[in-house]
Amino acid sequence: MICEQDGIFHIGTEAYSYLIKINAYGIPEHVHFGAPVKTGDAAALSCRPGLGWGSGVLLNAQDSASCLDTLALEWSGSGRGDYRESPLELEGTSSDFRYSGFRILKGSVAMACGLPQAHGGLETLELTLEQPGAKLSLYYTAYPTALVRRTVLENTGDVPMRLNKLMSFCVDLPGAYHMATFNGGWIAEMRRHDVPVGGSKVVNESLTGASSNRHNPGFLLFEANAAEDAGRVYGFNLIYSGNHYAAAQQSLQGLTRVMQGVNPSNFSTELAPGKIFESPEAVLCFSGEGFGGLSRNMHSFVNGHIIPAYWQNRPRPVLYNSWEGCMFDFNQRRLLDLARRAKSLGCELFVLDDGWFGQRDHDKAGLGDYNVNKKKLPEGLEGLSRRIRDLGMEFGLWFEPESVNPDSDLYRVHPDWALTDSFPDVLGRYQLLLDLTKPEVRDYIVENVSRILDSAHISYVKWDMNRHSIALGEKAHGYMLGLYDVLRRIFGPRPGILLESCSSGGNRFDLGMLCFSPQVWASDDTDPIERLMIQGGLSYLYPQSTIGAHVSAAPHGQTLRATPLSTRGNVAFFGCLGYELDLKHLLPVEIKEIKAQVAFYKQYREVFQYGRFRRTELGWQVSDGSVTLAGVFHGLVHAAPGYEQLRIRGLKKDAVYRVVSLSQAIRVGQFGGLLKHVAPVSIDPNGPLLRIADRHFTLPGGGEELTVSGGALMSGIMLRPLFRGTGYDQNQRTQGDFGSDVYIVERL
Ligand code: GLA
């Protein structure tokens, strides 16, 4: 619901209220963003500057409360008394926009520039502000669990205007906050980093041309006492995949100014008379129920209003991806052999990754070319995809259409299509980006990718992008508009193709890409212990249905860490499950275990992908109201571990539940010489007998089976003991380093 009453605007849903007041000077003041309140509460919630703070620049010399610097604002200009950071910069001039009108519109308002937008909005408030020669429209679209804001600047004068900065939103929140950002790099995405927001500005930005693995555009502001289940937490994100900027800073008056938008660094664009510039949409979210409540509000917004309509709440296939198993070394025979094995494990989609085209036998050549490598694939993609279909699997294909290797046919013909500057080229992974601001480049990509997609039975695309850009400011923004145009033209007419975007893993995990691709390859790091951090970081802002999560080989390629197959599965379950390893060398015990993993995941797929997510003391839980699945994850073991309690959230205290743990297969090989303690025979720990036994036999793991009340489960039930060096029996959890369990809690 959006309403206006005596200059107060109230945007309200069951999850939040957002109040704006137009003051006596036509300045929109920010009144409230938080728990639902009444429109009539505005006076009590507004700032009360009284006689002011002194030394301020006043809009009205007779009114000491008219100092913009001390008010909570919805927008701010420059040179008019507000000396905090301004969300707008017009070159060489101050700005002083005053309220001129409003409209309340049904649904959301479409943008003209082609940036992706959330869909299914309830209502939109359009506030219009004006100054001589310019009009500023602030849009607020209400969604059940989030508010989406954006800004449009129009040159209403008769001379060109130079715009250097236009944020998607700016707001002054009363109170003191900490800021959580999600930082990292390649194979180390989404590490949560908290800093207090004080008088010095805290900035979260990317300048790589992508939303980046360094600083995800999503961030949180939270009160110091906020915890997982309690406290006030705000979440912000941008529906944009390029250079972004967000800043937070607290004023002397205790107002925290927050803003987010396209990164203004090097940004400058000319607005001719009559022209507009539109900022991307930004998402503002609130919860009074801690980080968990905030995450669930964000998840529900993303699942319901960002993911393309066709894929909304649609189960995602269990896939097999050829990359880590084959890299560039494959031919049709090898792929079909892998596909047969993947099928027998239960996989539903076979994805052929990099290496199927041009001279792409390594990463130094071929990007930009689309001719299928007939040496590797004599029957082409049509033949390969048909055979995979005949095996009963869907077929998916990798592309990296935004890039070009200098060693490619495309580059030899069109060196001018690459993104360059006045300096000699600098390569990233031996490649350049194509200049997507050029229509002929976009046409080339659209035509070629479309042609390939229509030439074979392709139901999934992995869209990769593997280098940082050299484009600055306006050019970098133009690149993003070009990319969105390309994605819209290719996938708009083909909504049934499941698009998984990727950028060296999670270098472009953002709401802009998610408007086109329902899932994103979260990281090239598939080590489950690293994934706890990566997927755990993502979980604050993005739902499980968006997170590509694969089981790969151990020891792991990025960390050399050896982890149990069970843990690799248990972590990947909390996303869109896939397998990415050479299946040829799997042991019989591993084949059996993977089959069981895939069958288990399929049984509870909807709960894992779409269930309500919670971070818990011991790991994660997801729930659809009748089934809760709880993952318990351990790092390094300690000798003589103590008791461990499992606490499940969100149950009915008087209902009765059955708790079962997912059965585990304990490899006998890991016991080495210790086996003599559990087996009646003496076995050489380095001998062939143990090796053979390890291939074929496992010991049963400590299976839990309890019937217990919701009240007991919510207060915490005792788990079976962990291994303590006092022997083996089936009642304990015999796990070494990096062990884990999944518990299935079903209401009886
Ligand atoms: C990137 C991706 C990987 C894989 C390779 C192929 O690194 O993140 O998943 O597709 O490219 O070259």
For residue 671, what pLDDT is reported? 86
Residue of 538, 534, 488, 514 whose CA lies nearest to 239: 514
For residue 26, what pLDDT is reported? 97
Q: Which protein residue's CA is at the shortest distance from atom 12 of ligand 1?
A: 354
Q: Residue 302 C-alpha to ligand 1 middle, in angstroms?
A: 25
Q: Where are the alpha helices (DSSP H) in 501-654?
A: 511-514, 528-538, 565-572, 588-603, 605-610
> Which of 189, 464, 517 best tests ligand 1's pocket when mutated (most atoms within 8 Å of CB)?
464
- In this structure, the chain runs to a length of 748
Q: Of ligand 1's atoms, which has the minimum distance to the CA of residue 398?
A: 10
Residue 631 CA to its chain's centroid (Å): 21
How many CB atoms are closer than 10 A to CB 71?
Answer: 25
Which neighbouring-strand residues pair with 399? 463
**H or E segment at 718?**
strand 717-718
Q: Of ligand 1's atoms, which has the minimum distance to the CA of residue 504?
A: 8
Phi-psi region of 633 (alpha: psi -120 to 50; beta: other; left: phi over 0): beta
Structure-token pair, residue 532: 């706890």
For residue 573, what pLDDT is reported? 98
For residue 681, what pLDDT is reported? 72
For residue 685, what pLDDT is reported? 87
Q: Residue 43 C-alpha to ligand 1 middle, in angstroms?
A: 55
Q: Which protein residue's CA is at the shortest distance from atom 5 of ligand 1?
A: 354
Percentage above 70 pLDDT, the chain: 100
Active-site residues: which are they? 464, 524
> Which of 320, 322, 500, 504 best tests ligand 1's pocket when mutated (most atoms within 8 Å of CB)?
504
Pocket, ligand 1, Cβ cutoff 6 A: 323, 353-354, 363, 398, 464, 466, 502, 504-505, 521, 524
Omega cis (within 30) before 49: no
Q: Residue 59 C-alpha to ligand 1 middle, in angstroms?
A: 56
User: pTM of the entire structure?
Assistant: 0.97
Pairing state of beta strands 244-250 and 202-205?
A: antiparallel
Q: Residue 463 C-alpha to ligand 1 middle, in angstroms?
A: 10
Residues 6+ apart with CB under 8 A from 438: 417, 482
CA 568 – CA 547 distance, rounded (Å): 15
Main-chain phi, psi angles of 16, to 5 degrees: -160, 165
Q: Residue 671 C-alpha to ligand 1 middle, in angstroms?
A: 36
Residues 6+ apart with CB under 8 A from 42: 8, 10, 19, 21, 31, 32
Among 4-18, 94-108, 367-381, 667-681, the range scoring the smallest mean pLDDT is 667-681
> Which of 405, 466, 467 best tests ligand 1's pocket when mutated (most atoms within 8 Å of CB)?
466
- Flag whether pLDDT at 668 surpasses 90: no
Q: Residue 327 C-alpha to ligand 1 middle, in angstroms?
A: 9
Give me the sign of the Cα torsion angle 690, 691, 692, 694: positive
Q: 34-84: per-residue pLDDT in tens?
A: 999 999 999 999 999 999 998 899 999 999 999 999 999 999 999 999 999
CA 320 – CA 342 distance, rounded (Å): 6
Average pLDDT over residues 85-112: 97
Give the DSSP per-residue string, 652-688: -TTSEEEEEEPP-EEESGGGGGGHHHHSSS---TTSH
Q: 449-504: per-residue pLDDT in tens?
A: 999 999 999 999 999 999 999 999 999 999 999 999 999 999 999 999 999 999 99
Q: Which protein residue's CA is at the shortest distance from atom 6 of ligand 1?
A: 354
Q: Which protein residue's CA is at the shortest distance from atom 1 of ligand 1?
A: 504
Residue of 438, 374, 430 whose CA lies nearest to 404: 430
Burial class of residue 721, CB neighbours in 10 A (0-12, 13-18, 19+): middle
For residue 696, what pLDDT is reported? 93
For residue 728, what pLDDT is reported? 80
730 or 125, higher pLDDT: 125
Report how far apart, in Å, the C-alpha atoms of 616 and of each of 102, 286, 291, 630, 647 are.
44, 20, 11, 9, 8
Confidence of residue 196 (pLDDT cuts 50, 70, 90): very high
> Which of 324, 400, 524 best tests ligand 1's pocket when mutated (most atoms within 8 Å of CB)?
524
Residues 6+ apart with CB under 8 A from 351: 319, 320, 321, 322, 395, 396, 397, 398, 460, 462, 578
Q: Of ligand 1's atoms, which has the minimum distance to the CA of residue 502?
A: 8
Give the DSSP per-residue string, 239-305: S-SS-EEEEEEE-TTSEEEEEEEE--TT--EEE-TT-EEEPPPEEEEEESBHHHHHHHHHHHHHHHH
Structure-token pair, residue 116: 């992706």
Confidence of residue 727 (pLDDT cuts 50, 70, 90): confident
Structure-token pair, residue 157: 């004068």
CA 438 – CA 188 distance, rounded (Å): 33
For residue 673, what pLDDT is reported? 85
Residue of 145, 140, 148 whose CA lies nearest to 511: 148
Q: Which protein residue's CA is at the shortest distance from atom 2 of ligand 1?
A: 504
- Flag whether pLDDT at 705 surpasses 80: yes
Main-chain phi, psi angles of 531, to 5 degrees: -65, -25
289 or 702, higher pLDDT: 289
CB 65 within 8 A of CB 50: yes
Q: Residue 411 C-alpha to ligand 1 middle, in angstroms?
A: 21
Q: 521-562: per-residue pLDDT in tens?
A: 999 999 999 999 999 999 999 999 999 999 999 999 999 999
Structure-token pair, residue 95: 């700005």
- Flag whether pLDDT at 679 surpasses 80: no
Residue of 151, 207, 220 whose CA lies nearest to 181: 220
Average pLDDT over residues 367-396: 98
Q: Which protein residue's CA is at the shortest distance from atom 8 of ligand 1?
A: 504
Average pLDDT over residues 499-514: 98
For residue 554, what pLDDT is reported? 96
Q: Of ligand 1's atoms, which has the minimum distance to the CA of residue 505?
A: 8
For residue 701, what pLDDT is reported? 79
End-to-end CA distance of the chain: 39
Residue of 281, 236, 272, 261 whose CA lies nearest to 108: 281
Mean pLDDT of the chain: 96
Burial class of residue 276, CB neighbours in 10 A (0-12, 13-18, 19+): middle
